[in-house]
Amino acid sequence: MVGDSPKAADGAGSALWMSTFAFTACFAVWTIFSIIGVQIKQDLGLSEAQFGLLAGTPILTGSLVRVLLGVWTDQYGGRLVNLMVMLSAALATFLLSYAETYTQFLVAALGVGMAGGSFAVGIAYVSKFFPKEKQGTALGIFGAGNVGAAVTKFAAPFVMIAFGWQSVAQVWAGALAVIAVAFFLLTRDDPTLIERRRTGAKPESTAMQFTSLKKLQVWRFSLYYFFVFGAFVALALWLPHYLVGVYGLNIKIAGMVAAAYSIPGSLFRVFGGWLSDKIGARRVMYITFSVSAVCTFLLSYPPTTYTVAGIRGPISFHLETGLGAFIVLLFCLGFAMSLGKAAVFKHIPVYYPGNIGSVGGLVGLVGGLGGFILPITFGLLNDITGVWTSCFMLLFVLVASALTWMHFAIRRMERARTPGLSDLPELPEMSGLHPSPSSGPVPVAPAPVAAAG
């Protein structure tokens, strides 16, 4: 019937909800070092930089494999690829419980990181079930699996204190393996794969899928995701350690407070997808970067004591972000990032419908690299500057750069689409005051004639 909205393909519901459930479990495993890493740091006597490397190593693996996993999903289907990813990550997580030296922990962390590759698989798999008018909402729901970071922060401290960090690794590994099998059994292949099997058509080659990665626009989207996702993961890993060091909280309370950031940064991604469908992903990105710039600027201000020369002598006062204000700002930052994560991936199926796996994989890779690079950088900044808030200083510079590039790229596209705009001055109402040499004299309006009186 004319006017009916496009419908999702058969099996879309189970594909979406089981993919979201599976991604939640993967994300819980992927960020496991945010909790058990604190105990391992104490046991091994690690430096800040060594802790950052350990926490970020799983993020490295999960990032580097995303492009290839995205391509394989387009070629072989998300059900099979995701099953293999989850089972391999479960095995590595179980073996992690037997590590003893720092080198062994790093090797095991590389295997644990396979869990992060499930994101690229899910994006390519889920998007094929929905029309473009609904992809923002669907991918927003899927992306809410980031809440797995909060699951780890809530539950892992209690398991670790009661039974040791090794039990956390073993329980998380067992749960991931069970969910992997459930995902495979309760979903069906995507419509594109089914149709290709029916017609006998061959999938697009890996080389062809990589051609879109040459476009600068793809790398701009990647920078956006480096902040909205990479910084989200980095803070999810870093915050328990930050809260223990800055505010003196114990690990259980620190994990719960850090969840105040992880939960909105995950669940509100659904709202971000819906909002991107309604008002456009571009406007959502402006909201994300503007709010994030304000929050990171305020969070970056270190505790400072000022002394000014008053009339009656020196006057001293102290500025510091208390725990309550910190939580509020953190919640706002997580909310803004959640909108941006959904908005970035709203762009991809629209601009690159035939290369969702490769483009989404690259964007996810760069975003994931942020989750690897930033925790290490946070640790180095702490070692070099001795200022805890240096991590937020770095994030402010990052989001300001992304906002600036996005704004000028949009202005350039608008002028290219409407060539007449390039001839207009920045303030059209000023054109009469500064005529160009070729435009001739500016007409002068006749002076009003005074009324006879």
Report whether 258 contacts 243 (CB < 8 A). yes
Average pLDDT over residues 309-316: 83
Q: Residue 315: CB partners within 8 Å, gap ≥ 6?
A: 307, 308, 309
pLDDT of residue 292: 94
pLDDT of residue 361: 72
Higher-confidence position of 389 and 449: 389
Average pLDDT over residues 187-199: 82
Average pLDDT over residues 251-266: 76
Residue 22: which of 140, 111, 119 has the closest Cα?
119
How do 304-310 and 313-319 pair as beta strands?
Answer: antiparallel
Report whether 148 contacts 30 (CB < 8 A). yes
pLDDT of residue 442: 47
Name the residue type at position 407.
Answer: H
Average pLDDT over residues 291-316: 86
Beta bridge partners of 304: 319
- pLDDT of residue 446 exceeding 50, the answer is no
pLDDT band at 205 (very low <50, low <70, confident <90, very high): low
Residue 92's alpha-carbon distances to 53, 112, 130, 303, 377, in angstroms, are 18, 5, 34, 41, 26
Higher-confidence position of 450 and 339: 339
Higher-confidence position of 425 and 127: 127
Report whether 439 contacts 326 (CB < 8 A). no
CB atoms within 10 A of CB 214: 8
Q: Residue 300: CB partners within 8 Å, gap ≥ 6?
A: 389, 390, 392, 393, 395, 396
Average pLDDT over residues 293-299: 93
What percent of the chain stands above pLDDT 70?
Answer: 84
pLDDT of residue 399: 93
Q: Which long-range contacts (CB under 8 A, 24 or more apart) does 217-223 make?
A: 217/351, 217/409, 218/352, 218/359, 218/362, 218/363, 219/366, 220/405, 220/406, 220/409, 221/344, 221/347, 221/348, 221/363, 222/362, 222/363, 222/365, 222/366, 222/367, 223/366, 223/401, 223/402, 223/405
Average pLDDT over residues 129-151: 80
Residue 167: which of 35, 257, 363 has the closest Cα?
35
Whole-angstrom distance, CA of residue 34 vs CA of residue 144:
19
pLDDT band at 449 (very low <50, low <70, confident <90, very high): very low
Residue 126: which of 82, 66, 177 has the closest Cα?
82
Report whether 432 contacts 442 (CB < 8 A). yes
- pLDDT of residue 116 exceeding 80, the answer is yes
pLDDT of residue 178: 96
Average pLDDT over residues 78-94: 94
Beta bridge partners of 449: none
Q: How would CATH label the architecture of 12-195+206-420?
A: Up-down Bundle (1.20)
Beta bridge partners of 310: 313
Of 141-155, 377-391, 425-439, which gets the smallest average pLDDT? Answer: 425-439
Average pLDDT over residues 122-150: 81
Residue 41's alpha-carbon distances to 51, 53, 194, 200, in angstroms, are 6, 11, 48, 54
The number of helix segments (H) and strand segments (E) in the chain equals 20, 2
Average pLDDT over residues 264-279: 79
CA 15 to chain centre: 22
What percent of the chain stands above pLDDT 90?
Answer: 22
Of 98-107, 114-123, 248-257, which gets the smallest average pLDDT? Answer: 248-257
Residue 138's alpha-carbon distances to 13, 123, 349, in angstroms, are 10, 10, 12
pLDDT of residue 111: 93
How does the average pLDDT of the chain come out, rounded?
81
Whole-angstrom distance, CA of residue 417 vs CA of residue 422:
10
pLDDT of residue 214: 66
Please calculate the CA angle 142-259-330 and round it to the nearest 5 degrees: 100
H-helix segments, 77-130: 78-96, 102-112, 118-127
Question: Which of 305-314, 401-410, 435-444 reaches the highest mean pLDDT?
Answer: 401-410
